[in-house]
Amino acid sequence: MQKRSVDAVVIGAGSAGLNAVAELDKAGADWLLVESGPYGTTCARVGCMPSKLLIAAANAADAVERADVFGIRVRGVDVDGEAVLARVRSERDRFVRGVVEDVERLPAERRLIGRARFTGPTTIRVGDGPELDARAIVIATGSSAVVPQIFDAVRDRILTSDEVFELQRIPASLAVVGTGIVGLELGQALSRLGTDVTFLDQAPTVGPLTDPEVQRYAHAKLGRRLALELGAAVEAAEPAGNGIELAWKDAEGRARSGEFEHVLVATGRRPNVAALGLEHAGLELDERGIPKWDPQTMQCGDAPVFLAGDVDGHLPLLHEAIDEGRIAGENAARYPEVARHVRRTPLIIVFSDPQMAIAGQSYASLDAARTEIADFSFERQGRARVIARNVGLARLYATRDDCILRGAELFGPDVEHLAHLLAWSVQQKLTVQRLLRMPFYHPTLEEGVRAGLRRLARRLGVERARPCEDLAVAAGM
């Protein structure tokens, strides 16, 4: 069979792969894009967008229920589950259509359909097609939901995030196994829409927060309205009627069981590397079977192979996948002269309610000996009380020697916005003193950040350094 030679092959038409292709095209490279599934990306089809659509509906229901606190009486809130899920799907389909149209605008002769696998260090075969010889290869094959073996007997009944958005009605009962970002977001949303949800996780934590104080607080507050069983190991899953019976050991080692209409398995995602034939690529692999790579170039060793997106198992987030696709595509075009890129400040947001966020360095990554920490609470914070959402705690981290803000972990109302401001400040290497010179409007949630910064300034011993530049003091803020 004839070999076809090209400058670059990009494997995977997800967010990372499409951005790699955009860079290759800009550089005038002769590229091919291979996709084994339907176009439309994980983000639009089964990830960011449908999950946030479901959460938006859930939060609307919750807001109506909470209206009572303002003296607004709403009687007989009725969640029309079929209508909720129909909107999730129809809006999701709009997002997917947009992506598919973008992909279909790419020249048809550059798009191959089929599963790509390595046949040698620079050769790829797509299905039974001819061998492709590429000067550079970008692996952007994404990740897949992990389903532990314990669910083998009910594999056709359990839900993962791939199936959950296809539900036609809101289930009466649901066990969510895994209280990471996906499990927490989807489980809380379904609970607000009327499902009786039990959360099970063998770890003692909920969400990605690593700061023990913020984690403890979030667990306690979320646990008031959600049935959180942390430290609970699922031991068996069997079919029961039309549903599933789970058996687990709780945190005290007691045997527990329950029957659920559905079980959502949200125990993490695994990079899609197994079917790539990486054994033929001559790359050094880590213990998970992922090629070793450099996050500043996305290159695997000094090979003409680049990783991008969830497949590298690094930061499985959309904006990171896009950046990595851009870096990988640019470097695939320039190979062997690869460019190093400074990566953005880390930012993780969980769309639970209250939301969670990590901006900049997490608590777990701090050098404790060099770090000063101060917290602020949303419980007595002016704006949080005005909107009756005064639940939350955040902690800010700065280095002692230079007073630069390094990171924060937050749990509170709409902290997605505060987390952006803090991540931008961390990336700008702003000191606590400079941050306190910024304007803070009244009454806003940002004033809570200022309270935390003031506390941090006191801890750092710099609260009197520039007394005129942090003037605003008002009661109850």
- Give residues in contact with ligand FAD (CB under 6 A): 11-17, 34-37, 41-43, 46-48, 51, 115-116, 140-142, 161, 182, 272, 275-276, 309-311, 316-319, 321
Cis ω before 443 (30° cut-off from 0)? yes
Can you tell me which residue has the tokens 């607080």?
A: 217
CA 161 to CA 146: how far, in whole Å? 10
Q: How far is the CB of 416 from ligand FAD (least distance, A)?
A: 10
Query: Smaller CB distance to ligand FAD: residue 237 or 347?
Result: 347
Can you tell me which residue has the tokens 């608590």?
A: 363
Query: Smaller CB distance to ligand FAD: residue 131 or 245?
Result: 131
What do you get for the CA distance between the two ends of the chain, in Å? Answer: 74
| Closest alpha carbon to 192 in 62, 355, 83 | 62
CA dihedral 413, 220, 350, 247 (to 10 degrees): -150
**Cβ atoms within 10 Å, residue 30:** 13
CB-hemisphere CA count at 13 Å for 370?
10
Are 326 and 140 a contacting pair, CB within 8 Å? Answer: no
- Can you list the positions of beta strands (E) in 123-172? 123-126, 131-139, 143-145
> Computed over its alpha carbons, how large is the radius of gyration of the chain?
25
Nearest to ligand FAD by Cβ — which residue?
A: 14
CA 85 to CA 442: how far, in whole Å? 38
Cis ω before 204 (30° cut-off from 0)? no
Query: Smaller CB distance to ligand FAD: residue 165 or 217?
Result: 165
Query: Smaller CB distance to ligand FAD: residue 409 or 470?
Result: 409
CB-hemisphere CA count at 13 Å for 414?
12
Q: How far is the CB of 306 from ligand FAD (least distance, A)?
A: 13
Q: What is the DSSP letter of 204?
A: S
Say which amino acid occupies 321: A
Task: Give the helix/strand (H/E) hosting 23.
Answer: helix 15-26
Query: Smaller CB distance to ligand FAD: residue 160 or 399?
Result: 160
Burial category of 416 from C-beta neighbours within 10 Å (exposed 0-12, middle 13-18, buried 19 and up): middle
Q: How far is the CB of 235 from ligand FAD (least distance, A)?
A: 26
Query: Smaller CB distance to ligand FAD: residue 197 or 276?
Result: 276
| Closest alpha carbon to 462 in 427, 440, 437 | 437
